[in-house]
């Protein structure tokens, strides 16, 4: 019997293995499909083998990438009435599903992190919030969304507990963040704060990602396969993780997991009278 041993990327910035050869226009993947963000028949085109950042919907405003389409697909399946709900999205980008959420949901709050400004106030079009110490009252939202934010917070436990607190009973937290394939344990810390200074863990090369309102964001945490257990240990969320290889919806490549956390609906658990 022959075993299958898949090659694994060590880092989200490392290109995935692909047999595809570029066309004369530099296209390495061109899929016909349906986009769950713009809700159109479209083409998903990549000019780079790292599909996580390069496989773009040709119909979405400013494009969209696989993890955003994965989140949109799960969102539309899990919470189809989302336009009528109270939604908080932390650190939205100006593309993909964030544009659609803001456009179609009347009670949408987009927040960004401006540490120099007072929290709980407006900064331009954004609500200024620290995800680890939100200013919203308990039970404010039906739905909280973050896309590739959790790997940049210094205290993910606090952030998850704050998201839990500000969700209504029965509310959902739907998010994406890289879950490292080589890592079984729930998380390892890459960088921490000590006496106001950033301290990098031993042997870790600092890694930075794009940030919607700042130049770059340090990756503070690597999450692993068992992160769902840790989320449910830190909070009372019921948690599940979706993983994709979905050409029809253009969800191909590495790190497309969507994590769905539901705050228990306490009333639903009461015995019937
Ligand atoms: Zn689209």
* Mean pLDDT, rounded, of the chain: 90
Distance 63 CA to ligand 1 centre (A): 7
Question: Is the pLDDT assigned to residue 151 strictly greater than 50?
Answer: yes
Question: Is the pLDDT assigned to residue 15 strictly greater than 50?
Answer: no
> Given this model, what pLDDT does residue 211 score?
77
What confidence tier does 9 reach under pLDDT thresholds 50, 70, 90?
very low
The secondary element (H helix, E strand) that includes residue 221 is strand 221-223
- Pair type for strands 107-112 and 86-90: parallel
More confident residue, 17 or 205: 205
Distance 43 CA to ligand 1 centre (A): 9
Q: Do the beta carbons of residue 145 and residue 87 sit within 8 Å?
A: yes
**Secondary structure of residue 199 in the 3-state scheme:** strand
Distance 165 CA to ligand 1 centre (A): 33
Q: pLDDT tens digits for 169-195? A: 999 999 999 999 999 999 999 999 999
Q: At what angle do helices 227-234 and 156-166 cross, to 10 degrees?
A: 60
Distance 57 CA to ligand 1 centre (A): 5
- What token pair was written down for 73? 């697909």
Distance 35 CA to ligand 1 centre (A): 5
When pLDDT is averaged across residues 227-255 and rounded to a whole number, the result is 96
> Given this model, what pLDDT does residue 215 score?
74
What confidence tier does 216 reach under pLDDT thresholds 50, 70, 90?
confident
When pLDDT is averaged across residues 155-180 and rounded to a whole number, the result is 97
Distance 69 CA to ligand 1 centre (A): 8
Question: Is the pLDDT assigned to residue 98 strictly greater than 90?
Answer: yes
Give the sign of the dihedral formed by CA 100, CA 231, CA 220, CA 208: negative
| CA–CA dist 97, 72 (Å, integer) | 6
Distance 65 CA to ligand 1 centre (A): 9
Distance 258 CA to ligand 1 centre (A): 18
Distance 73 CA to ligand 1 centre (A): 11
Distance 174 CA to ligand 1 centre (A): 19
**Secondary structure of residue 269 in the 3-state scheme:** helix
88: nearest Cα among 35, 134, 39, 124: 134
- First-to-final CA distance of the chain: 58
Q: Do the beta carbons of residue 263 and residue 237 sit within 8 Å?
A: yes
Q: Do the beta carbons of residue 86 and residue 107 sit within 8 Å?
A: yes
> Given this model, what pLDDT does residue 23 score?
77
| CA–CA dist 63, 260 (Å, integer) | 24
More confident residue, 171 or 15: 171
Distance 178 CA to ligand 1 centre (A): 22
Out of 32-41, 131-140, 260-269, pick the least confident: 260-269
Distance 80 CA to ligand 1 centre (A): 18
Distance 134 CA to ligand 1 centre (A): 32
Instruction: Name the architecture of domain 65-269.
Output: 3-Layer(aba) Sandwich (3.40)
**Secondary structure of residue 73 in the 3-state scheme:** helix
Distance 76 CA to ligand 1 centre (A): 14
Distance 60 CA to ligand 1 centre (A): 4
Question: Is the pLDDT assigned to residue 43 strictly greater than 60?
Answer: yes
**Secondary structure of residue 1 in the 3-state scheme:** coil
Question: Is the pLDDT assigned to residue 58 strictly greater than 90?
Answer: yes
Question: Is the pLDDT assigned to residue 8 strictly greater than 80?
Answer: no
Report the DSSP beta bridge partners of residue 160: none
- What token pair was written down for 91? 């650190």
| CA–CA dist 148, 162 (Å, integer) | 17
- What token pair was written down for 262? 């539901």
For the chain, which residues make up each domain, given as ranges?
A: 65-269
When pLDDT is averaged across residues 213-236 and rounded to a whole number, the result is 92
> Given this model, what pLDDT does residue 272 score?
59
Distance 155 CA to ligand 1 centre (A): 33
Distance 62 CA to ligand 1 centre (A): 9
Distance 75 CA to ligand 1 centre (A): 15
> Given this model, what pLDDT does residue 210 score?
80
């Amino acid at each position: 019997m022959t075993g299958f041993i898949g090659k694994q990327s060590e880092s989200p910035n490392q290109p995935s293995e692909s047999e595809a050869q570029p066309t004369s226009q530099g296209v390495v993947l061109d899929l016909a499909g349906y986009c769950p963000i713009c809700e159109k028949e479209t083409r998903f085109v990549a000019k780079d083998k790292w599909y996580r950042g390069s496989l773009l919907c040709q119909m979405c405003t400013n494009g969209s990438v696989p993890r955003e389409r994965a989140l949109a697909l799960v969102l539309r399946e899990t919470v189809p009435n989302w336009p009528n709900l109270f939604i908080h999205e932390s650190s939205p980008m100006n593309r993909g599903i964030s544009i659609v959420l803001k456009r179609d949901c009347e009670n949408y709050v987009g927040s960004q992190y401006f540490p120099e400004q007072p929290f709980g106030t407006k900064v331009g079009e954004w609500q200024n919030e620290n995800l680890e110490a939100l200013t919203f009252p308990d039970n404010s939202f039906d739905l909280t969304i973050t896309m590739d934010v959790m790997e940049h917070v210094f205290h993910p436990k606090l952030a998850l507990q704050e998201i839990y607190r500000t969700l209504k009973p029965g509310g959902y937290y739907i998010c994406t963040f890289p879950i490292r394939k080589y890592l079984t344990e729930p998380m390892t810390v890459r960088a921490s704060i000590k006496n106001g200074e950033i301290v990098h863990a031993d042997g870790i090369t600092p890694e930075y990602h794009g940030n919607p309102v700042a130049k770059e964001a340090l990756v503070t945490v690597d999450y692993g396969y068992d992160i769902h257990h840790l989320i449910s240990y830190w909070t009372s969320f019921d948690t599940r993780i979706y993983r994709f290889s979905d050409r029809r919806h253009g969800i191909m490549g590495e790190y497309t997991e969507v994590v769905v956390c539901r705050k228990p609906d306490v009333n639903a658990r009461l015995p019937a009278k």
